[in-house]
Amino acid sequence: MYILGIETSCDETAAGVASNSEILSNIILTQSAHSRYGGVVPEIASREHIRHIVPIVDEALQKAEIRFADLSAIAVTRGPGLVGCLLVGVSYARNLGLSLDIPVVGVNHLEAHISTAFTDSEIDFPLLCLVVSGGHTLLVVVNGFGKYEILGSSRDDAAGEAFDKVANLLGLTYPGGAKLDDLAEGGDPGIFRFPTVKLKKGRWDFSFSGIKTAVALKIKELENTEYDPANVAAGFRQAAVKMLISKLEDAIEYTRCSRFAIVGGVAQNKLLRSEVDRLSAKTGVGCYYPDQSLCGDNGAMVAIAGNLMLENNINYESDFDASAYLPLK
Ligand code: KG4
Ligand code: ZN
């Protein structure tokens, strides 16, 4: 059984092929057209998806060494995301499904990120999953595929959004999260310390806008002085990661989870990965983070989620539309 996964919810045009849980290809095109605007321009993103979706899907099939006729199903991100972008993927997938006479499954983007935790060979439930991406920060108890209990989310900026905004303040081009992470590697986190916000124990929401403002004020204060931006990046990264880790630690204790995982674009962060390892050693609860290629938006995660949906016969709706707001159920 070969399943094609298509992802066009934001600024990645991506497609991947999976055979059951095995990933055969994962082709990702990150649109570069947005970097000079400092953020994603929805209209440009939709047009770029239209331009790239056909060659990206072709490449995904070629890399997997299969033909369209070999596909048994198609999975496509139906939301949440930019509706004009989602529409490109959904229309393409539904038309392809009609012409091949195979099922098309609409996947929730957050569930696709969560499904990357299912590539963990030691997965165990209840699994505590931290979703950290450019658009979302969610702490979820996963009791099985499709069985979610949301503990908390960000009250303002998502974790990745905060990284991108601080990167922008430091003059790094969009998307700046990974660039800031690299810059921070060469900095000293002890020079500029930023306040961390921790909502009370037992309250599971996050807030990143305060730390972002603190960095903006510090950069303004340093304007006419000589300072090393790497130290600002390191100070911010340390504080942001600390906020995520301390909430994870409380939630591990509260949920008595069997395992925990971090998924989404920010799960590539080097400090976050090493702190997650440390937390695992400290608590004795096993942890998992997917391969880097599965963290940012990609088509393989959509194929994995689609495959799990079909296997478990959950949430399967043959008649679905693109949806900008789509809660995780
Ligand atoms: O999951 P994703 O590809 O897209 C959304 O669903 O939003 O996440 C993208 C986000 C961006 O904000 C990007 O800057 C951030 O993930 N990101 C990182 C790193 N790599 C990507 N943030 C911090 N450190 C990184 N190494
Ligand atoms: Zn995403």
pLDDT tens-digit series, residues 162-202 = 999 999 999 999 999 999 999 999 999 999 999 987 777 77
**Residue 113 is which amino acid?**
H
Atom from ligand 1 closest to the CA of residue 134: 7
| 56, 27 Cβ separation under 8 angstroms | yes
Residue 315 has pLDDT above 90, yes or no: no
Is 326 within the bounds of a domain? no
226-235, 275-284, 310-319: which range is least confident on average?
A: 310-319
The answer as to whether 227 is a domain residue is yes
Question: Are 82 and 170 in a shared domain?
Answer: no
Tell me if 45 is assigned to some domain: yes
Band (pLDDT 50/70/90 cuts) for residue 280 is: very high
Q: Is the CB of 7 inside a 6 Å radius of any atom of ligand 1?
A: no
Q: Is 181 in the pocket of ligand 1 (CB under 6 A)?
A: yes
Residues 139 and 98 in one domain: no
Check whether residue 71 and residue 7 sit in a common domain: yes
How many CB atoms lie under 10 A from the CB of residue 213? 13
* Residues 128 and 277 reside in one and the same domain: yes
pLDDT tens per residue, range 164-174 = 999 999 999 99
pLDDT value for 316: 65
pLDDT tens digits along 58-100? 999 999 999 999 999 999 999 999 999 999 999 999 999 999 9
Q: How far apart are CA 230 and CA 236, in angstroms?
A: 10
- Is 187 close to ligand 1, i.e. is its CB under 6 Å away? no
Helix, coil or strand: residue 104: strand
C-alpha angle 205-211-214 in degrees, rounded to nearest 5: 155
Token pair 């055969």: residue: 24
Ligand 1 pocket check: which of 163, 166, 276 to mutate, most ligand atoms within 8 Å of Cβ?
A: 163
Q: Kindly state the percentage of the chain with pLDDT values over 70.
A: 99
Domain that holds residue 41: 2-113+294-311
Q: What is the average per-residue pLDDT within 142-146?
A: 97
Determine, yes or no, domain membership for 323: no
- Band of pLDDT at residue 21, cut at 50, 70 and 90: confident
Single pTM value for the model: 0.97
CB 30 within 8 A of CB 11: yes
Give the Cα separation of 131 and 140 in Å (integer): 8
The reply to whether omega before 80 is within 30° of 0 (cis) is yes
302 in the same domain as 284? no
Residue 236 has pLDDT above 70, yes or no: yes
Decide if pLDDT at 314 tops 80.
Answer: no
Nearest CA to ligand 1 atom 3: 296
Q: Ligand 2 center to residue 135 CA distance, Å?
A: 7
Distance (angstroms) between ligand 1 centre and the Cα of 40 equals 13
**Within 13 A of 62's CA, how many CA atoms are on the CB side?**
7
What total number of domains does the chain contain? 2
**pLDDT score at 202:** 74
Whether residues 283 and 208 fall in one domain: yes
Q: Do residues 157 and 96 share a domain?
A: no
Q: What is the CATH number of the domain that holds 54?
A: 3.30.420.40
Instruction: Give yes or no: residues 33 and 97 share one domain.
Output: yes
- Owner of token pair 């909430």: 247
Q: Is the pLDDT of residue 18 over 70?
A: yes
Does 165 lie in the same domain as 78?
Answer: no
Q: Residue 326 has which token pair?
A: 């789509």
Closest ligand to residue 172's CA: 1
Compute the Cα dihedral for 307, 74, 28, 18 and give only its sign.
Answer: positive
135 and 257 both lie in a single domain:
yes
**In this structure, are residues 15 and 59 in contact, taking their beta carbons and an 8 Å threshold?**
yes
Ligand 2 centroid from CA 222, angstroms = 34
Is residue 153 assigned to a domain? yes
Q: Are residue 285 and residue 240 in the same domain, yes or no?
A: yes
- State which ligand 1 atom lies nearest to the alpha carbon of 296: 3
Query: Residue whose CA is closest, atom 20 of ligand 1?
Result: 178
Q: In what order do the strands lie in the sheet with 104-108?
A: 22-30, 12-19, 2-7, 71-79, 104-108
Residues 10, 108, single domain; the answer is yes
